[in-house]
């Protein structure tokens, strides 16, 4: 009995030892599994690890950025210049996401206290913390923190994607804005949008430079209040005949016969008067001269604005028509159009009134057109916008920046660039709500009629039930 008892005890000890060994083995395997999972997860890009719950999508890169960055074939160094411990979490996350898109993008953190001479290679001024330097073998660009983050928006993605495009581009388009005829000045935001997209902006005045510079990729004439001289018009016409590019914005009230003659030679003409829209879904409530045009759904420039979620706005516009019998080499495309209920009011300047009369011209109309002519080795491109309010900041803010998006797409088409950066930023402020007349009427019915009536009926039902108890 004693032997068996001892043997049983030894057997029990052996079983305990085996169980203990199994337990240690399981713990070791589980620990190895956890470590392996952590190592694997640490190699994943940021967009696979974090869910963006911010309303302005601060931690999400746009499809436009992904398309541009994933196509990059040059090695790019991106430096975040910041004192250790003061890095902006949103910017760090953004840089991590860019690095995850393309292995050619290398992100480094530079503490100016440790490397005091680093910034001097790229800027003569001291950079604020969280500024970014982007560099390739071709060139470099500095993005200061005040551009990345403002009181109203986070613009990091716009500037970084543009900088990547800038430092990798073989050539950079040069756009000359014409001056000397009362042209509207470019707003700071519009200049910024052009620069962000790698378009170099210079001024051209024929009094001081009596010719179009040889490096001009495009000429931009922005709402002149006086006409070109015949000699100036000939300079521009000769430039276009040799494959030149032109972005033209005009006002319904300006008289510019020499400028109009240039456009007539390219198959398009101004329609007299101010266009008013009578379709309630196509103008801002109460303002038929603030037209919400119908975008061409098949054109590369305008197709993204065809849906009702991406409205454009053309206040105080004149119409543009295609001339019959123009030469066969010209291709005229209607970009932004009215409905057939629109009409052009020829007497609006003398007696402002929205009422249609017998002298008015019936629509539909085109408010923006493009002209393309390929002849021999030349490729002439023109875009004509018939609203001098189209590019104003106030107009752009009313519809969330879509007008400037259109403008950038148009400028890139003119300069023959395939991809562009949509400069929208991530707004941190409350946007402006714009509604058409029919939308305004619908919400009035709902807020003034339907909801109060429903509350009244519901209250009466409750009152009757309580009374009958």
Instruction: Read off the pLDDT of residues 248-271 as tens digits, 9 standing for 90 and up.
Output: 999 999 999 999 999 999 999 999
3 state SS of 201 = strand
Yes or no: say if 403 and 391 are a contact pair by the CB < 8 Å rule. yes
The yes-or-no verdict on residue 319 having pLDDT over 50 is yes
pTM: 0.70
pLDDT value, residue 56: 52
Query: How far apart (Å, rounded) are the C-alpha atoms in residues 340 and 97?
Result: 47
Alpha helices in 118-155 (DSSP H): 145-148
Alpha helices in 169-310 (DSSP H): 188-196, 230-241, 257-264
3 state SS of 2 = helix
pLDDT value, residue 133: 95
Residue 18 lies in a domain: no
Residue 307 and residue 214 in one domain: yes
Residue 408 and residue 345 in one domain: yes
List the 105-110 sheet strands across, edge first.
Answer: 105-110, 76-81, 131-135, 140-143
Query: How far apart (Å, rounded) are the C-alpha atoms in residues 107 and 26?
Result: 39
Q: Domain of 454?
A: 444-469
Alpha helices in 169-301 (DSSP H): 188-196, 230-241, 257-264
- The band of 189, judged by pLDDT with boundaries at 50, 70 and 90, is confident
Last residue in a domain, options 143, 166, 189: 166
- pLDDT tens digit sequence for 427-455: 555 455 555 566 666 767 787 877 888 88
Residue 119 and residue 216 in one domain: no
Residue 452 and residue 391 in one domain: no
Residue 188 and residue 290 in one domain: yes
Residue 268 and residue 204 in one domain: yes
- pLDDT tens digit sequence for 269-292: 999 999 999 998 899 988 999 999
Tokens of 464: 């009757």
- The band of 1, judged by pLDDT with boundaries at 50, 70 and 90, is very low
Which span out of 113-122, 306-315, 361-370 was modeled with the highest average pLDDT?
Answer: 361-370
Q: Say which residue, 468 or 332, is predicted with more confidence.
A: 332
| Cα-to-chain-centroid distance, residue 6 | 84
Give the CA distances from residue 444 to residues 200, 394, 439, in Å, rounded to whole numbers and listed in that order. 48, 26, 9
What CATH number is given to the structural domain containing 157? 3.40.30.10
pLDDT value, residue 273: 94
Residue 190 and residue 211 in one domain: yes
- Residue labelled with tokens 């913390």: 129
Q: Say which residue, 450 or 47, is predicted with more confidence.
A: 450
Query: How far apart (Å, rounded) are the C-alpha atoms in residues 209 and 235?
Result: 11
Give the CA distances from residue 278 to residues 114, 273, 356, 362, 436, in Å, rounded to whole numbers and listed in that order. 66, 15, 10, 11, 11
Query: How far apart (Å, rounded) are the C-alpha atoms in residues 122 and 95?
Result: 19
Residue 226 and residue 317 in one domain: yes
Query: How far apart (Å, rounded) are the C-alpha atoms in residues 103 and 100?
Result: 7
Residue 127 and residue 196 in one domain: no
Tokens of 46: 């940021």
Domain count, the chain: 3
Residue 161 and residue 211 in one domain: no
pLDDT value, residue 287: 92
Of 133-137, 149-153, 221-225, the poorest mean pLDDT is in 149-153
Residue 192 and residue 286 in one domain: yes
């Amino acid at each position: 009995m004693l032997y068996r008892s001892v043997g049983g005890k030894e057997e029990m000890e052996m079983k305990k030892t085996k169980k203990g060994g199994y337990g240690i083995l399981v713990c070791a395997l589980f620990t190895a599994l956890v470590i392996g999972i952590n190592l694997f997860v640490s190699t994943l890009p940021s967009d696979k690890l974090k869910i963006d719950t911010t309303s302005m999508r601060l931690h999400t890169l746009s499809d436009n950025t992904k398309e541009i960055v994933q196509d990059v074939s040059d090695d790019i160094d991106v430096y975040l210049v910041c004192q250790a411990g003061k890095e902006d979490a949103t910017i760090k996350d953004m840089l991590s996401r860019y690095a995850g898109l393309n292995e050619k993008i290398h992100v480094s953190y530079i503490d100016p206290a440790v490397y005091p001479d680093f910034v001097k290679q790229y800027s003569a001024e001291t950079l604020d913390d969280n500024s970014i330097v982007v560099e390739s073998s071709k060139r470099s660009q500095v993005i200061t923190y005040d551009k990345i983050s403002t009181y109203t928006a986070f613009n990091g993605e716009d500037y970084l994607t543009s900088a990547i495009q800038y430092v990798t581009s073989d050539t950079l388009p040069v756009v000359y804005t014409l001056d000397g005829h009362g042209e509207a000045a470019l707003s700071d935001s519009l200049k910024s949008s052009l620069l962000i997209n790698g378009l170099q902006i210079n001024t051209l005045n024929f009094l001081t430079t009596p010719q179009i510079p040889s490096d001009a990729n495009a000429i931009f004439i922005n709402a002149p209040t006086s006409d070109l001289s015949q000699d100036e018009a000939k300079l521009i016409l000769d430039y276009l005949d040799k494959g030149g590019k032109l972005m033209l914005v005009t006002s319904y009230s300006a008289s510019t016969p020499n400028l109009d003659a240039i456009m007539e030679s390219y198959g398009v003409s101004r329609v007299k008067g101010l266009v008013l829209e009578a379709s309630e879904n196509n103008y801002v409530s109460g303002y038929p001269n603030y037209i919400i045009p119908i975008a061409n759904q098949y054109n590369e420039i305008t197709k993204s604005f065809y849906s009702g979620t991406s409205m454009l706005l053309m206040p105080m516009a004149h119409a543009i028509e295609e001339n019959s019998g123009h030469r066969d080499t010209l291709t005229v495309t209607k970009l932004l159009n009215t409905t057939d209920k629109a009409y052009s009011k020829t007497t609006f300047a003398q007696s402002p009134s929205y009422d249609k009369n017998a002298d008015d011209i019936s629509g539909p109309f085109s408010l923006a057109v493009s002209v393309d002519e390929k002849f021999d080795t030349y490729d002439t491109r023109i875009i004509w916008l018939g609203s001098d309010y189209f590019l104003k900041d106030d107009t752009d803010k009313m519809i969330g920046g879509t007008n400037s998006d259109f403008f950038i797409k148009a400028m890139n088409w003119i300069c023959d660039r395939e991809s562009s950066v949509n400069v929208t930023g991530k707004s941190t402020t409350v946007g402006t709500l714009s509604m058409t007349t029919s939308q305004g009427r619908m919400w009035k019915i709902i807020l003034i009629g339907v909801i109060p009536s429903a509350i009244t009926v519901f209250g009466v039902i409750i009152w009757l039930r309580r009374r009958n108890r």
